[in-house]
Amino acid sequence: MARSAVVVDPEYLKHEPGEFHPERPERIRALLDLAEKLDKNRFQILPPKAASRSDVESCHGADYVKLVESTSKTNHYALDGDTITCRDSFGVGLLAVGGFLRLIDSIAAGESQNGFALVRPPGHHALKNRAMGFCLFNTIAIGAQHLKNAYDAKRVMIMDWDVHHGNGTQDSFYEDPSVLFISTHQFPYYPGTGAVNEVGLNAGEGYTINIPLPAGCGDAEYLRVFYDVVVPAAKKFAPEWILVSAGFDPHRRDPLGGMEVTEAGFAGMAGLLLELADRYTGGKIAFLLEGGYDLAALNHSVAAVLEVLQQNSGTMENAKSGGDRIEPLVHRILQVREKYR
């Protein structure tokens, strides 16, 4: 079995949004410690390289990129109330994007079986011309665009299991039928988007699937919607690539979320996505770190997903019968989906 790739680097520590900010450098420090202990026969560490300006501008406006670059001249700059940069943040943002692109290229070349980019800052809230929710550049959206531009990918699936809705990613492909965007998220919650009836527009109608879960959902509820909504939609789409916005803030220990997912739940979701990748993409699946703000939960959950990348044994069959409390929600989502089957 080919090794899985892990992108991680001490350079990601240099983004400093300020004292007491949840998206702190210690998040990467905890994962650097994890990476050092990985079995080198099963995992390879890939050093990132910075993305080019043209890479970033595939999903962001040139003026916005210049704005973020200009913050390199000041110790702290608030792009919005939650998204603060320091002198190193622009460079680290380019390295976050570049790290994910490096992972994609490694998988595309057959050098890695699959992989996980452990980078920061996160990206899925970033809009074309606006920073938002700790995010500077929308790394996963840029990754999907890279697949389309560099590898002529016709069907890219993005699964976002962060506790917050990936509004920036949704906006990037809302009218694009070549990208299937699926999001599980706590609702109502920041950023306020991601209702069931947000399904895409024009040619992209039906290629956005939102699964807005009530607070308190755990492994059974998440696996229920994976089995009943995510997997059937993925099978119909038959993706050539799967990209995963893997936020670990749905964990029961996370200070920002209100969910009850455990390490086993994340492993279960990852296992189902690996099975889809094996069936449709030739195994081409790349995970990207988004949120996750309890250090122990982050470390243990990432470790659980990495184990699945090598073992493909994280599915939880017993979860099929769980999640009864969200039965009405699942029914409503399937009703909305009916016209796109």
* Residues 114 and 314: beta-carbon distance below 8 Å: no
Q: What is the mean pLDDT of residues 252-265?
A: 98
Residue located via tokens 């009864």: 324
Q: 184 by DSSP, 3-state: which? A: strand
289 DSSP 8-state letter: E
Q: How far apart are CA 246 and CA 51, in angstroms?
A: 21
Residue 125 annotated to the active site: yes
Q: How far apart are CA 43 and CA 55, in angstroms?
A: 27
Query: Tens of pLDDT along 67-90?
Result: 999 999 999 999 999 999 999 999
Instruction: Report whether pLDDT(274) > 70.
Output: yes
Predicted pLDDT of residue 304: 97
Q: How far apart are CA 233 and CA 46, in angstroms?
A: 32
* Residues 208 and 185: beta-carbon distance below 8 Å: no
- Residue 13 has a CB neighbour count (10 Å cut-off) of 17
Query: Tens of pLDDT along 221-249?
Result: 999 999 999 999 999 999 999 999 999 99
Q: How many CA atoms lie within 13 A of 179 on its CB side?
A: 28
Predicted pLDDT of residue 341: 80
- Quickly state the pLDDT bin for 335 (edges 50, 70, 90): very high
Q: What angle do CA 309, 126, 337 make, to 5 degrees?
A: 65
Predicted pLDDT of residue 2: 85
Predicted pLDDT of residue 322: 76
Q: Where are the domains of the chain?
A: 4-340
Query: Tens of pLDDT along 278-320?
Result: 999 999 999 999 999 999 999 999 999 999 999 865 555 555 5
DSSP 66-132: HHHHHGGGSS-EESSSS-EE-TTHHHHHHHHHHHHHHHHHHHHTTS-S-EEE--SS--TT-BTTB-B
4-340 classified as CATH 3.40.800.20 = yes
* Residues 302 and 116: beta-carbon distance below 8 Å: yes
Predicted pLDDT of residue 323: 86
Q: Which of 15, 60, 124, 125 is catalytic?
A: 125
Enumerate helices (H) and strands (E) in the chain, giving the number of each.
11, 10
Phi, psi of 80, deg, nearest 5: -155, -175
Q: 16 by DSSP, 3-state: which? A: coil
* Residues 126 and 168: beta-carbon distance below 8 Å: yes
- Quickly state the pLDDT bin for 1 (edges 50, 70, 90): low
- Residue 27 has a CB neighbour count (10 Å cut-off) of 24
Query: Tens of pLDDT along 158-196?
Result: 999 999 999 999 999 999 999 999 999 999 999 999 999
Query: Tens of pLDDT along 84-129?
Result: 999 999 999 999 999 999 999 999 999 999 999 999 999 999 999 9
Q: Which of 181, 186, 235 is nearest to 208 (CA)?
A: 181
Calculate the CA dihedral of residues 218, 264, 305, 327 and round it to 10 degrees: -40
Predicted pLDDT of residue 317: 56
- Residue 103 has a CB neighbour count (10 Å cut-off) of 28
Q: Which of 212, 204, 195, 208 is nearest to 169 (CA)?
A: 208
- Give this prediction's pTM: 0.97
* Mean model confidence pLDDT for the chain: 96
Instruction: Report whether pLDDT(15) > 90.
Output: yes
Q: Which two tokens stand for residue 207?
A: 């290629």
Predicted pLDDT of residue 313: 59
- Quickly state the pLDDT bin for 33 (edges 50, 70, 90): very high
Predicted pLDDT of residue 65: 98
Q: Any alpha helices (H) in 138-230, and if so which ranges? A: 139-151, 167-172, 219-225
Phi, psi of 44, deg, nearest 5: -120, 140
Q: Is the peptide bond before 191 cis (omega within 30 degrees of 0)?
A: yes
Q: 65 by DSSP, 3-state: which? A: helix
